[in-house]
Structure 1
Amino acid sequence: MPRTLAAITLATSGLLAAACAPAVAGSSTEPPPVAGGKIGTLAIGKYACELPGDAGGKIGEPVPEYDFSIVNASSYKAQGIRGSYLYTGNTVTMTGGKFKGLRFERVSAGFLRELGEQRPEGPMRCIMVARRY
């Protein structure tokens, strides 16, 4: 009986190792893809927001009530209230805090353009004005 038990144990452990091998061999440091694209974070710093101007007038109309700072990997602070954001693909969505539900397109490093809001002046833009290293 002990020989049979040893043979079953050996066979079972071999099957387990064989079953796990593809998972271990195929693993990588990249997380699986998520809806919306790859997850990222914004650079830590202060963003100043403005509405676009026109060719015959102002360059832009500041809207300081929308200014915010990225304070760590996925948190921002606006008017003293801390919130969270999700950055996937090229879309930044404020998921908590003062600006919950506000969405931006990341045009380039330090340049965000509001999505969804239909304003006569055009979409609000937020530009990084101070970066913390």
Structure 2
Amino acid sequence: MGAQGRIGLLDQGHYVCALPGDATGTAWIEQEGKAFAITGGSSYRTERGAGTYLLEGKQVTFTRGPLKGMMLLKLSSGLLQEVDKGGKLSRLRCHRTGPLSE
């Protein structure tokens, strides 16, 4: 996926990433190691460290840090969906769960 427009910023706060569950169990299955917090500017942090991201139009690319190389598509304010290496949308979705606590 190439650049899709103007550069922007994600809403600050905590984001949790999950895969859809099924009708017989949990609606969402949280994915360990994928949660992150947008801390300001183009910066994020995870349990494993901090890094930077680039938001071009609706495409989010983590450019440095523990999530480097991960790409997401901004579906709406606070809702993102992972883009796999082949450029297709994966089932993983990340949603903003609340503001930063500090």
Residue of structure 2 in register with 1:9 after alignment? none
Q: Post-superposition shift, 1:117?
A: 5.7
Where does structure 2 lack aligned partners over 5 or more consecutive residues? none
Give the TM-score normalised by the residue count of structure 2: 0.85
The answer to whether the Cα contact below 8 Å between 1:45 and 1:128 also exists between their aligned partners in 2 is: yes
2:64 is matched with which residue: 96, 104, 112? 96
The answer to whether the Cα contact below 8 Å between 1:43 and 1:131 also exists between their aligned partners in 2 is: no
The answer to whether the Cα contact below 8 Å between 1:117 and 1:123 also exists between their aligned partners in 2 is: no
**Matched pairs, number:** 96
The one of the two structures with greater contact order (alpha-carbon pairs below 8 A, sep at least 6) is 2
Quote the Cα distance in structure 1 between the aligned partners of 2:57 and 2:23. Answer: 32
Q: Post-superposition shift, 1:80?
A: 4.2
1:66 is matched with which residue: 20, 34, 48? 34
1:50 is matched with which residue: 3, 18, 36? 18
Change (3 A) 1:48 1:82: same
Question: Identity percentage over the alignment?
Answer: 37
Change (3 A) 1:130 1:64: farther
Give the TM-score normalised by the residue count of structure 1: 0.66
Quote the Cα distance in structure 1 between the aligned partners of 2:5 and 2:77. Answer: 17
Report which of the two has the higher share of strand: 2
1:107 is matched with which residue: 45, 63, 75? 75
Residue of structure 2 in register with 1:116 after alignment? 84
Deviations 1:6-44 (A, max 9, x none): xxxxxxxxxxxxxxxxxxxxxxxxxxxxx4211100011
Residue of structure 2 in register with 1:130 after alignment? 98
* Aligned residues: CA RMSD: 1.9
Q: Which has the larger radius of gyration?
A: 1
The answer to whether the Cα contact below 8 Å between 1:48 and 1:64 also exists between their aligned partners in 2 is: no
Q: Post-superposition shift, 1:59?
A: 0.3
